[in-house]
Amino acid sequence: MDMNLFLKHWISSDLKFRSVSIVLREEVRYDDLLNGIPFEELTDPVQRFCYTDFHPTTVSGGYDIKRNDGVTATIVTERPHTRNEYFLMYVWDQC
């Protein structure tokens, strides 16, 4: 599924999940990922915490998007020491 369509579906839904982690084989282009989606880039060094898999995860930076019901999610990507990139999404009313 195209990641932009996934985000647009989440925005118009009431899906309840705490976080999403997807391994991608190509680099995320935020222009494509967020095309047509209102977002706020998080440039301040603010850290937030989400409990995923029973342990706290620190989330820094990224992009906030809002669902139609006002729920906020933060999107970040990571490229650990592999060729793959990780798409990570944290939903704050569930963390």
pLDDT in tens, 2-55: 889 999 999 999 888 888 888 888 888 889 999 999 999 988 777 777 776 667
Q: How many domains does the chain have?
A: 1
Q: Assess whether pLDDT exceeds 60 at residue 70.
A: yes
Quick one: which H or E segment has residue 65? Answer: strand 63-66
Task: Give the pair of three-digit tokens for residue 11.
Answer: 């925005």
50 three-state secondary structure:
strand
List phi, psi (to 5°) of 77. -125, 150
What DSSP designation does 17 have?
-
d(CA 47, CA 30): 21
> Which residues form the domain of 51?
3-10+19-91
